[in-house]
Structure 1
Amino acid sequence: MMWRKYISQKESVIIKKVIFFEVQGGSDKGPDGYRPDTMPMVEALKECAQDAEVIFFEIEKREQIFNYVKDHAVAYVSRINPGNLKHEAEYFDMLRELCVEGIIGMPHPDAMISYGAKDALVKLRHTSLVPEDTYAYYTINQFKSTFPKSLAKGERVLKQNRGSTGEGIWRVQLVEKLADGVTEVPLDAQIKCTEAKDNHVEYHRLDSFMTFCEQYIVGTNGMLVDMTFLPRIKEGEIRLFMLRDKAINVVHKKPAEGADAFSATLFSGAQYRYDKPEEWGALVQSFLGQLHEITTLLGGYDLPLIWTADFILDTDDFGNDTYILGEINCSCVGFTSELELAHNVAQEIIDCLHEKATVLG
């Protein structure tokens, strides 16, 4: 096997481990305390003669963990769901320090932030992937002054930066149409709000709903992203499961039946279908062709090891299908429904180590 031949020439790669970071607790853990997709990756690496182990990050052991990884690892793979991490800033600082020490970050913490933050969409809005009228609100004043104008153009989707499984993602539509020529929704207008978490519907005045949404803007990494609502979401969201620059599989996520349902999460009742990338050839090739531009606009970092790009169908002015990017995830993408992908991940890690070792000579 080519890799076995390679590591015999580069003994330091055999000696050094690939460290998988996890954190204790959380709903993403199996009966053994690990994420169900972590140990399959560890075992797949060991089958390829690359040592690997799992370390649980604890703030009290931060220096001990740092020193151990610095001395014993060639790379780390972060498998911590941000929702389970109480000391995110300290964890990311440790990862940055490890990268400075020459440990290969999978991914680098700043890449994790740049790709995973919802405002990645705003950074990409001048590409064909994201509509131009996509906005990010970092302050309450900015939100309250701009959102009534964007809502006047039609249905919108607001996405908080924090949260998961559709929490804090709202489809917002006017109960009554505006009069012709009106370019800003009055603050006392009645709006219909549907949350992606479970497709439940609430009715509010615009001003009270914006006050409710202030919670998403305040605090560390707080922001709201405002996008046009794409009605073809009812046909399903298309998720590309990526290993660096390779599309490994495609998940077609169709929202539950019902007039208001638009969420593509399992929790909300969406149905998942797993397809081969070849079945979505046009989308895959278009996206891969734009990876260089994407990496440049998102900070120039190496592509994450495991990440996803979610697309929604739209129609262009000529009636042709187009694909709009709705979200990128890279903090801790799971694949518990297809654990056989652990072997693909292991090979990708090995390829990355090989590439880095070749560059370093």
Structure 2
Amino acid sequence: MDKKVIFFEVEGGTDKGPDGYRPDTMPMVDALKKRGQEAEVIFFDVTKKQQIFDYVKEHAIAYVSRINPGNLQHEEEYFAMLRELCQTGIIGMPHPDAMISYGSKDVLSKLTATNLVPDDTFAYYTIEAFKAQFPASLALTERVLKQNRGSTGEGIWRVKLAEPLADGATKVPLDAKIKCTEAKDNHVEYWQLGDFMTFCEQYITGTNGMLIDMRFLPRITEGEIRLLMLRHHPVHVVHKKPADTEDAFSATLFSGAQYRYDTPEDWAELVQNFLAQLPQVTSLLGNYDLPLIWTADFMLDTNEAGEDCYILGEMNCSCVGFTSELSLAHQVAEEILAYIHESTKVTS
């Protein structure tokens, strides 16, 4: 095979090893080379965008994006270059619009037609929509607000009433006292609803600003279940149990959550239901090919029949790492080769 698989990285950032690469990048490059597929890493630099584009267009059959958005200052230019590469026939792993579609928090509001997301899940793209709906949502049940930007639980708030509502009230008054817990570190703040909503306007304004409003699932205390996927194959499961304190609902390591690594077979019911929904998920999210490496996070809930069910909390595909499981690089390499084979068979 004379055409290369190009891995895109960016210089700097906290996700790099001593050699300057992400620790999971070179194992993938080496695993491909062992299989006779040439591969190399290119660091994206906006000042060399045209040179990089020309080189990849001429020498590559596919790219694999391994850039953490938090380390990328010129995301729009990077995505524009990836789009253009895909248009020239380079196989995108993933396509930039799939990255946006699967990785954005509003994926939840787009999937309410599936059984993965409750239908009382809302996305607010304007302050007006937030003001109109959220007091009514909160009147029904405890809520979780999630900002689109940020990571490690920042700007994800569990919101509950500090005092019961008056009988028959369908909206929470703006002067009502509320208890807010942030997922970043499970710290608690008390606010009046109107003041808190004004504070949350920062999450809606600006580029890609928006808020997701979904019901709080009390069984989060039993743990969040993260499914690691290679395209449509579940590879392993991380069970993240929040710290055992009164207000804890965050599943981040920083907040004290305990992690356990399971096999997909340990979660057969969840995996089977999710795989059965995947064609509909793909269709609702723009019909792009599934990302190469991605995750889906679930929480336990109880359905109307009193049975366990699993609710999707978020998906991530921009740059999912597997540094704690570097042996996965061989499976990833096989998946890349299968993807190339399928794609070239379709076009030939």
Give me the TM-score of the superposition, normalised by structure 1.
Answer: 0.95
Residue of structure 2 equivalent to 1:130: 117
Residue of structure 1 equivalent to 2:265: 278
Deviation at 1:360, TM superposition (A): 2.1
The one of 206, 213, 216 aligned to 1:226? 213
Deviation at 1:269, TM superposition (A): 1.3
Deviation at 1:167, TM superposition (A): 1.0
Please tell me the residue identity of whatever aligns with 2:121. T
CA distance, structure 1, for counterparts of residue 175 and residue 323 of structure 2: 46
Q: Does 1:172 align with 2:125?
A: no
Measured against aligned partners, the alpha-carbon deviations of 1:312-360 in whole angstroms (never above 9, x if no partner) come to 0001122110000110111111111111111111110011111112112
Equivalent residue of 1:165, what SS? Answer: coil
Q: Does 1:163 align with 2:169?
A: no
CA distance, structure 2, for counterparts of residue 19 and residue 196 of structure 1: 36
Q: Does 1:73 align with 2:60?
A: yes
Matches within 5 A, 1:178-193: 178-193=165-180
Residue of structure 2 equivalent to 1:263: 250
CA distance, structure 2, for counterparts of residue 26 and residue 173 of structure 1: 36
Aligned length: 348
Q: Does 1:86 align with 2:97?
A: no
Equivalent residue of 2:140, what SS? Answer: coil
Residue of structure 1 equivalent to 2:304: 317
Q: What are the ranges of 5 or more consecutive residues in structure 2 without an aligned counterpart?
A: none
Q: Does 1:27 align with 2:47?
A: no
Q: What are the ranges of 5 or more consecutive residues in structure 1 without an aligned counterpart?
A: 1-13
CA distance, structure 2, for counterparts of residue 136 and residue 309 of structure 1: 19
CA distance, structure 1, for counterparts of residue 6 and residue 59 of structure 2: 9
CA distance, structure 1, for counterparts of residue 18 and residue 182 of structure 2: 31
Q: Does 1:18 align with 2:5?
A: yes
Please tell me the residue identity of whatever aligns with 1:359. V
Measured against aligned partners, the alpha-carbon deviations of 1:231-269 in whole angstroms (never above 9, x if no partner) come to 000000011100111001111111111011111111211
CA distance, structure 2, for counterparts of residue 77 and residue 256 of structure 1: 35
Comparing 91-100 and 198-207, the one that deviates more: 198-207
The one of 57, 74, 80 aligned to 2:44? 57
Matches within 5 A, 1:189-338: 189-338=176-325
Please tell me the residue identity of whatever aligns with 2:287. G
Matches within 5 A, 1:141-160: 141-160=128-147
Residue of structure 2 equivalent to 1:11: none
Residue of structure 2 equivalent to 1:113: 100
Equivalent residue of 2:115, what SS? Answer: coil
Matches within 5 A, 1:88-103: 88-103=75-90
CA distance, structure 2, for counterparts of residue 173 and residue 31 of structure 1: 45
CA distance, structure 2, for counterparts of residue 141 and residue 343 of structure 1: 49
Measured against aligned partners, the alpha-carbon deviations of 1:188-233 in whole angstroms (never above 9, x if no partner) come to 1111111111111111111111111111111111100000000000
Equivalent residue of 1:32, what SS? Answer: coil
CA distance, structure 1, for counterparts of residue 319 and residue 165 of structure 2: 42
Runs of 4+ in 1 over 3 A off after TM superposition: none
